[in-house]
Structure 1
Amino acid sequence: MTDLEFISNTKKLIDDLKSVCANYGLGNDGNEFKIISQTFLYKYMNDKFSYEAKKINETLAEANDFQKSYESLSDEERKFLIARIGNKAPKLQPEHLISYLFNNSTKANFAETYFDGTLRNISLDNSNLYSIKTASGVKDKMFDDLSQFITDSSQRDAFARALVNKLVNFSFEKMFQEKYDFFATIFEYLIKDYNSDSGGKYAEYYTPHAVARIMAAILVKDAVTNVKVYDPSAGSGTLLMNIAHAIGEKNCSIYSEDISQKSSNMLRLNLILNNLSHSIPNIIKGNTISEPSYLKEKFDYIVSNPPFKLDFSDFRNDLDKDSFKERFFAGIPNVPKAKKDSMSIYLLFIQHIMHSLSTTGKAAIVVPTGFITAQSGIEKNIREALINRGWLRGVVSMPSNIFASTGTNVSVIFIDKEADNEHIVLVDSSKLGKTIKEGKNQRTVLTREEEERIINAMNQKLPEEDFSVVISAEQIKEKNYSFSAGQYFEVKIEYVEITAEEFQNKMTSFENNLTAMFAESAELEKKIQENLKKLRYE
């Protein structure tokens, strides 16, 4: 099976699930997202279990009917099989499989007893592996009672049956065999209809994969093991997935916080699909700024695309207490008299990240480009601290519209506690990329070659005319702590050697051209005056 077939089949499954929701009055309903994402997760977990079980048990691998073969195993054999699978897949009993539900789909009370009951039992049996904690320590449930979103109880059995019928049409197992990383494409397709408001209340827009790849490639230059990776505003986890792939899934533990329940649930799905299930217990749904769950933790790598503008007036005054002063050393944004939702909360995230780095920690943070040149205020205080502490490794200013959901120009700040103060790299990639139409918005897309150009400039410390500069901390201080590459590009005048005769010829040519133009101008003036004299009032 080819990559295109993988993508096509998976998109078809999502479209089929959307169609079922629409047929039962849930199209564009607030619960449609939960139904599709959770049903998709159940399908994936079911196929992942079958795939791992077949690798261990030869009888299951050769069976024409996996369901019957699995049911025929003794209790001891099933326990041994599940123990061998470990954390590679969920713990599923025969009655948890899609084929079991399909075989019993005509039974009375199918929705409540079989469909919702199965998802409920899977949640309970796998809570240690897949549950997300809130800041207070309470664990969520992995699946809702999906059929209960149908208000007409007489339609629930038919609705659950229709969902199951869509799940038996194909298997993800060949994707596992090919080790195909299909999730990046599928994820955007899965959530595109639920993210049309440019981020909504919690700025849940998703970092472009080009930006995430660039950040990961610059942060992770050498092989590392047993490191902690953190995102204090994780969203769906695009940044975390990319840096985890760069490090190696087995070589790192993922930690995240996000105030949005939707983002936390999508991050769980993202971790499962990217072989990072071992980090699910580290996902926290909570307020990173006012109630950070990992305040005492220090991290080796931090990546973040924090919300730029968000109303935090409800807890702003609490941040002025002494207990917060060390973390928010550069200051806390004031509450504006109007447009509270324009509060620059990202400045708090930057300071939180600086506070959370280990002694050799590294970070990459997406910021509005205005941050890198602001002449005063909290922005400048943070930039001064990065230079004076010797933590700035470099900055990449991205092209306009690199995010389709926001017109804000962005840059990426790279922090490294072991940075080289004499060779700070500033890159201006604003002229790169191609503009494409994406729905009602325009987005700039970078080619892989352009991505590599940016990465090489940073990692190899390569100066390039009108693209990148390599400067010292002292030079940055002289420019009032500006992090903009353009302010360090020299104005270059090209000089060409010419003879005295060539010079005289050029001057004669200039004089002749000017004389001709002056003569033409005088003739035009004369004609204008003549025409004005001919004008009469009638």
Structure 2
Amino acid sequence: MALTSERKALIWKTLNETRGKIEPAEYKNYIFGVMFYKFLSEKAQKWLKTVLRDEKWENIWNQNSKRAAEFMQKKLGYVIRPGDMFIDWKEAINKDKFNILMVSEALTHFEQGIREDARTNFNGIFADMDLTSNRLGNNTQTRTATMMDWINLMDKIELDEDSDVLGDLYEYLIGKFAANSGAKAGEFYTPHQVSDIMARILTHGKEENTPYSLYDPTMGSGSLMLTTASYMKNAGVRGSIKYYGQEWITTTFNLARMNLMMHGVEYNDILLHNADTLNNDWPDGLVDGVDSPRMFDAVMSNPPYSQKWDNTSREDDPRFKVGVAPKTKADYAFLLHGLYHLKQDGRMAIVMPHGILFRGGAEEKIRKQLLLSHNIVSIIGLPAKIFTNTSIPTIIMILEKNRKNDDVLFIDASKEFEKEKKNNKLREDNIVKIVKTYLDRKDVDKYAHVATLDEIKENDYNLNIPRYVDTFEPEPEINLVEVATELKNVDQKIEKNMSGMLEMIDELTATDDASSKQLDQFRKIVKELGKNE
């Protein structure tokens, strides 16, 4: 049974009450760390219950710790020792024997007990939890009290074996932390409404593909991959979907690893990398001078917009055969990287700023080549203020690698949304309309247009959406007779009001010479106003 919105809101409220001096961007690292450890611990307990039956994990460990560790590693990829379980922390709290050092030791033991082939998934995943930080408290006692609050809060979240409660909560909290982290939110969060559009388009007609591979070269918290996979009918089948992703920021990379596993993705199906995508092509790519990239069924990305990058000596990089993006704007570099790793029958969706549609120079040359190669399938204009970290309007561009048709579908969805505090939000009906319009691929008055390549050539390969979708709404015609009549009525009302005001002034009396002079001046001014009107 999934968590209700009321329950989620209550958890968020309680989290804020225990945050203290810690900023939201940093606080999330502790909360997600405790939450993830609870997840791993309860997963281990559930598995132990099925395989040990009446035997106790502590007894098995004491008999032969090395063999016991290998026993758990083989199934889970990690080991949690007896006494290090989340439930052990809670029991120590109840007996007034808990100390934050218990958490430190448990995390150290966890790091030591990772299976070799699972190290890329688990190594350093709790590194952002600095348990000695003064922000948790000035001494061990206060830091222990802070940790106890978090453990008690996480303990109240009941997990249903048949539902994805913890993953659902994790996704909700990622959104809440993003909304409270300002510009830093763009490092790890793509609003679900945007992810949903991309996912529905990427998976349409491919819902039953087995196996299916996803790749996000700027994965953030991994939500784009998870949303895309959720539309596949075999999403919960182990080995059916492989998740590939790369992320430059280590803290965000850790968020993604936690996110995928807490949504039930087995570590064997997760292949994530912590590096700079543009400087370190992964996976595969150019190896010892040989071009042998890994290709994927679906590529999705929401890269940083107009980021500076080192574009020197890129002409020989096979990813950028179409052209090299300018050093002040890496937008097309991210796009070409994703397209390079797309299968011949794959589909790609990427979020970009509007500037890539019309800027000149190197970007114009790349855009022209993509059009002549029939790679650009559709351009979808989104509302402004839809992202938590920027107010600029953005687009979703859909691309394919081996496409016969040369037309481009333009959709202007920028004006259909609902306001939510400082941001704009796409409603479900807005999302459905966008996806349906994409699939129908027909003109829709003031909303969508299928432009031929000849039409695009006439516009000098400029893809600015207003050139193709006319959303102009003419002003209503003015009835001059009605306006004249209304003006006449207004004049009559003013004249009548002025007459009434003068009558009231005449009834006023002055008590001295000064008041009399002021009254005469007032009467004169009112008469002048009447004449002017």
Contact 2:377–2:408 (8 Å) recurs in 1: yes
Change (3 A) 1:345 1:463: same
Deviates more, 1:390-399 or 1:93-102: 93-102
Q: 2:171 aligned with 1:184, yes or no?
A: yes
Select 1:447's aligned residue among 423, 427, 436. Answer: 427
**Equivalent residue of 1:94, what SS?**
coil
Superimposed CA distance per residue, residues 112-169 of structure 1 (whole angstroms, 9 cap, x where no aligned partner): 3x32111211222235476448xxxx95354567432247554377347625751574
Change (3 A) 1:346 1:199: farther
Q: Partner residue of 1:4?
A: 4
Matching of residues 418-457 of structure 1 within 5 Å: 418-421=402-405, 424-437=408-421, 442-457=422-437
Q: Partner residue of 2:131?
A: 147
Select 2:210's aligned residue among 221, 225, 228. Answer: 225
Q: Partner residue of 2:520?
A: none
Identical pairs, percent: 17
Q: Partner residue of 1:269?
A: 258
Q: How many residues align?
A: 470
Select 1:260's aligned residue among 230, 249, 252. Answer: 249
1:229 & 1:43 partners in 2: Cα distance? 28
1:85 & 1:139 partners in 2: Cα distance? 14
Change (3 A) 1:21 1:225: same
Q: Partner residue of 2:320?
A: 327
Deviates more, 1:159-168 or 1:474-483: 159-168
Select 1:283's aligned residue among 257, 268, 272. Answer: 272
Q: Partner residue of 1:397?
A: 381
2:418 & 2:471 partners in 1: Cα distance? 27
Deviation at 1:208, TM superposition (A): 1.1
Change (3 A) 1:473 1:51: farther
Q: Partner residue of 2:290?
A: none
Q: Partner residue of 2:82?
A: 94
The AA in structure 2 aligned to 1:38 is: G
Deviation at 1:489, TM superposition (A): 4.2
Change (3 A) 1:448 1:298: same
Change (3 A) 1:265 1:85: closer
**Equivalent residue of 2:4, what SS?**
helix
Deviation at 1:382, TM superposition (A): 2.3
Deviation at 1:57, TM superposition (A): 6.1
Q: Partner residue of 2:109?
A: 121
Contact 1:130–1:280 (8 Å) recurs in 2: no
The AA in structure 2 aligned to 1:3 is: L
Contact 1:463–1:469 (8 Å) recurs in 2: yes
1:32 & 1:168 partners in 2: Cα distance? 15
Q: Partner residue of 2:439?
A: 459
Select 2:451's aligned residue among 471, 478, 487. Answer: 471
Superimposed CA distance per residue, residues 306-349 of structure 1 (whole angstroms, 9 cap, x where no aligned partner): 1113343xx44xx3354337526323314xxxxxxxx3222221
Q: 2:301 aligned with 1:304, yes or no?
A: yes
The AA in structure 2 aligned to 1:262 is: T
Change (3 A) 1:173 1:72: farther
Select 1:364's aligned residue among 337, 346, 349. Answer: 349
1:170 & 1:89 partners in 2: Cα distance? 27
Contact 1:333–1:345 (8 Å) recurs in 2: yes
Structure number, greater radius of gyration: 2
The AA in structure 2 aligned to 1:425 is: L
TM-score by length of 1: 0.74
2:144 & 2:441 partners in 1: Cα distance? 62
Select 1:350's aligned residue among 309, 332, 335. Answer: 335
**Equivalent residue of 2:322, what SS?**
coil
Deviation at 1:454, TM superposition (A): 0.6
Q: 2:165 aligned with 1:170, yes or no?
A: no
Contact 2:164–2:264 (8 Å) recurs in 1: no
**Equivalent residue of 1:332, what SS?**
coil
Superimposed CA distance per residue, residues 351-377 of structure 1 (whole angstroms, 9 cap, x where no aligned partner): 222222222232111111232233x22
**Equivalent residue of 2:184, what SS?**
coil
Q: Partner residue of 2:33?
A: 38
Gaps in structure 2 of 5+ consecutive residues: 286-292, 492-527
Change (3 A) 1:108 1:429: closer
Change (3 A) 1:372 1:168: closer
Contact 2:446–2:471 (8 Å) recurs in 1: no
1:129 & 1:326 partners in 2: Cα distance? 29
Deviation at 1:282, TM superposition (A): 2.0
Change (3 A) 1:45 1:11: farther
Q: Partner residue of 1:499?
A: none
Superimposed CA distance per residue, residues 209-249 of structure 1 (whole angstroms, 9 cap, x where no aligned partner): 11101001011112212232111111112211111222325
**Equivalent residue of 1:425, what SS?**
strand
2:215 & 2:45 partners in 1: Cα distance? 32
**Equivalent residue of 1:269, what SS?**
helix
Contact 1:395–1:412 (8 Å) recurs in 2: yes
**Equivalent residue of 1:101, what SS?**
helix
Contact 1:111–1:156 (8 Å) recurs in 2: no
Q: Partner residue of 2:507?
A: none
1:491 & 1:161 partners in 2: Cα distance? 55
Change (3 A) 1:283 1:477: same
The AA in structure 2 aligned to 1:302 is: V
